[in-house]
Structure 1
Amino acid sequence: MMQMTNPKKKSVACIDLFCGAGGLTHGLVREGIPVVAGIDLDPACRYPYVQNNAAQFIEADVASVSAEKVATLFGQVDVKVLAGCAPCQPFSTYSQRYDAERDGKWGLLYEFARLTEETKPHIVTMENVPSVARHRVFKDFVSKLESLGYHVWHDVVDCSRYGVPQARRRMVLLASKLGDISLAPPTHSEPMTVREAIKVLTPIQAGQTCKKDPLHSAASLSELNMKRMKASKPGGTWRDWPKSLVADCHKQSTGKTFPSVYGRMEWDKPAPTMTTQCYGFGNGRFGHPSQNRAISLREAAVLQSFPPDYKFLPDGGDVNFSALGRLIGNAVPVGLGRAIGLSIKNHLVQH
């Protein structure tokens, strides 16, 4: 078992629930927090998680994971950290009208609370969309932690101030039985920009894949969408186009209020929030700032602050935009994972 770099040389182990492709795990490990296992229901997460992180991947529904299993994974260590990001879809603006107890995904946060109560980790951390705080399930989660004796901190965080070149705001929770805990101050005085992140990547065309990196692949564009792309300005909208290029749905009164599609990014600003469909020009402001195409899967991953050599598919593997886009868009940005890891490391040194 790896040891923390602190005066008491305490051994530490972390388990990452809902680990996805490994964004949170990778950030924690890079800050010296050893992660022994990641748990996720999606089998597609196995390859990127295992290939990039020295941790075991367990394909399982967190609801079916027992406290005994988690305790075995932790092993005999001095400090146990339980981390995770429950699926955020139930907490989206669209889903706010649904009852927490009627959507199975809502209950996953209760399963997180169950494992916390049963395994008694010293530190707990959770990441999710900002709107999660408005829901009863989150309030119940915080109340449970407090009732178990945890010092709880949570707030909405601007990820661009922590090395994520993206306008992404996330709710971060940190809880500790050792004493007061909070997120480390921003590591960047100014937001990271698209230019800083992807300017060095090899130029490619729509529908083309870089020979040196199969993940640096851009979706093809129809003839009409190529015309729209060429008419698009960085930071602009479809309102800048000639009327002949505007989609029928946007000409209607109900569509005029949705300008944030078919847009190009700006070089000297953070990228928009990466989604599971960030590889599509028509799915948001995912047009490349200067090349006539949507961003590639690799660019999306880098904008999620994954290292440029992070492996998402095996050699010779098929580039499935939908599957890979899901892995990348759903990931916890590595930069935010590092901020959480740094915060835990500082906390352990202090206490």
Structure 2
Amino acid sequence: MSNEKDAPSIRAIDLFCGVGGLTHGLARAGIEVVAGIDIDSACEYPYEANNKAKFIERDVSDLAAPEVKQLISGADVSMIAGCAPCQPFSTYSRAGRSKKRVDDWQLVETFGKLVQEVQPDLVTMENVPQLLDHPVFNQFLERLHGYAIEWSVVQAVRIGIPQTRRRLVLIASKLGSDGLALRQDEQKAKTVRQAIGRLPSIKAGESDPEDRLHVASRLSQKNLERIRHSKEGGTWRDWPEDLKAACHRKTTGATYPSVYGRMSWDEASPTITTQCFGYGNGRFGHPEQDRAISLREAAILQTFPPKYRFVRPDEPVRFSVLGRLIGNAVPVRLGEVVGQTVMAHAAQFIRSKDAEEGE
């Protein structure tokens, strides 16, 4: 089924697909993602509106191997991709999580079990680096018996993402071991200015009439005064004493150096979280304008295209919902780099196979 240019056809599904960041990136690299599976119904519209793939609202643990095999059959190479949520490993607001969330890492085991049953040619998993310290990671590797495996902790800024994000990326293949390592170029980091510097200026509580997602959350009068005293790249330490919160005056305030901070124009942004629309939740203040970053700016910093559609035209823009969807997404550029890696790897396999058959 390969063509004259040796570009293999790869058919994939995206588990825990969210709004489609990984799917969109893989598709950019030439991979046919036929379906995304997620339990969150809020993901359906953005997933299908921006990708040529079907959204299946389903708990991944309910997927049957024959169903998955059928979805990814019919191409040169089959693939399962995904990012299993791992809430216990998140460093954001860990103390506020309920105990019922401690079993969320079992989704990684669900992922591994499905891969073991389906036996696709390729597997890629993206997750938090802390997963490496948990026994479930070794259990996942054991599920990949018979695969060549490469994994690394990727620095987002080294692959063209304007964000200081670190993610664990694993690629496994039945086709061989050559070319599986994810390339991380020593290139100059993309900056906040390059990513969002050209977006129209808006005020706190306002939205761009041409783009409903380019909307910034409201600020109280006190927080408006605070952000006006904050310098580019600065924090609450820039404020006069009367604007500082009681917790900041305590010695323990030193453990929160980046809350109520502004981003720096000529550096990468901090990690975009589900609470990135809130000025007090991290260094999420706009570098120049007196507001937190907009939802659109957050999405662009996650490398979604500027026109990526997240809400239906007749639906309201809800910060809590869209912040969660954007913050939890796999950056599109990361998916693209993974896709480019596996496309090149599969093409090498196809060439070697054709050469052997021609002898």
- Give the TM-score normalised by the residue count of structure 1: 0.94
Count of residues in Structure 1 that have an aligned counterpart in Structure 2: 345
Question: Structure 2 CA distance, aligned partners of 1:86 and 1:4?
Answer: 31
Shift in Å, 1:331: 0.2
SS at match of 1:81: strand
Q: What TM-score comes out, normalization by structure 2 length?
A: 0.92
Q: Distance in 2 between matches of 1:20 and 1:251?
A: 40
Alignment of 1:242-257 (within 5 A): 242-257=240-255
Alpha-carbon separation, structure 2, partners of 1:92 and 1:70: 29
In 1, distance between residues paired with 2:305 and 2:33?
18
Which residue of the partner structure matches residue 151 of structure 2? 154
**After superposition, where does 1:190-269 map in structure 2 within 5 Å?**
190-269=188-267
Q: Counterpart of 1:222 in structure 2: which amino acid?
A: S
**Paired amino acid for 1:141:** F
Query: 3-state SS of the aligned residue for 1:54?
Result: coil
Distance 2:87 2:243 in 1: 33
Structure 1 segments unaligned to the other structure (5+ residues): none
> Which residue is 1:18 aligned to?
16
Distance, in Å, in 2 between the alignment partners of 1:344 and 1:76 is 18
Q: How big is the shift at 1:161?
A: 1.7
- Structure 2 distance, partners of 1:188, 1:329, is 26
TM superposition shift of 1:92: 2.4
Give 1:91 shift.
2.0
State the alpha-carbon separation in 1 of the partners of residues 129 and 256 from structure 2: 21
Report the equivalent of 2:277.
279
| CA RMSD, Structure 1 to Structure 2 (Å) | 2.0
- State, as a whole percentage, how many aligned pairs show the same letter: 53
Deviations 1:10-42, CA, capped at 9 Å, x for gaps: 432010000000000000000101100000010
**Maintained 8 Å contact 1:165/1:303:** yes
Cα shift at 1:53? 0.2
Q: Tell me if the contact between 2:113 and 2:143 (Cα under 8 Å) persists in the aligned partners.
A: no
Structure 2 portions without partners, runs of 5+: 350-359
Q: Distance in 2 between matches of 1:8 and 1:332?
A: 29
2: CA distance, partners of 1:183 / 1:213: 39
Cross-structure match for 1:47: 45
Distance in 1 between residues matched to 2:342 and 2:3, nearest whole Å: 12
Q: Distance in 2 between matches of 1:323 and 1:101?
A: 21
Alignment of 1:313-332 (within 5 A): 313-332=311-330
- C-alpha distance in structure 2 between counterparts of 1:6 and 1:202, whole Å: 46
**1:316 positional shift:** 3.0
AA partner of residue 133 (structure 1): L
Summarize deviations over 1:311-331 as a string: whole Å, max 9, x none.
Answer: 001113201000000000000
Shift of the alpha carbon at 1:185? 2.2
Aligned AA for 1:329?
A: G
Aligned partner of 1:127 in structure 2 is 126
Taking a change above 3 Å as real, the CA distance of residues 95 and 116 of structure 1, as seen in their structure-2 partners, is farther
Deviations 1:180-200 (A, max 9, x none): 142442356111100000011
Displacement of 1:215 in angstroms is: 0.3
Q: Is the alpha carbon distance of 1:102 and 1:224 closer, same or farther for their aligned partners in structure 2, counting shifts above 3 Å?
A: closer
Q: Please state if 1:75 is matched with 2:61.
A: no
Q: Matched residue of 2:309: which SS?
A: coil
Find the residue that maps to 2:187 and give its secondary structure: coil
Q: Out of 161, 165, 175, which is 2:162 matched to?
A: 165
Q: Secondary structure at the match of 1:254?
A: helix
- Note if contact 2:8-2:347 (Cα within 8 Å) is conserved in structure 1: no
Query: What is the CA–CA distance in structure 2 between the aligned matches of 1:84 and 1:331, rounded to whole Å?
Result: 11
Whole-Å Cα distance in 2 between the matches of residues 317 and 12 of structure 1? 35
Q: Distance in 2 between matches of 1:102 and 1:264?
A: 31
State the distance in 2 between where 1:10 and 1:36 align: 16
Please identify runs of 4+ aligned residues in structure 1 that moved more than 6 A: 3-6
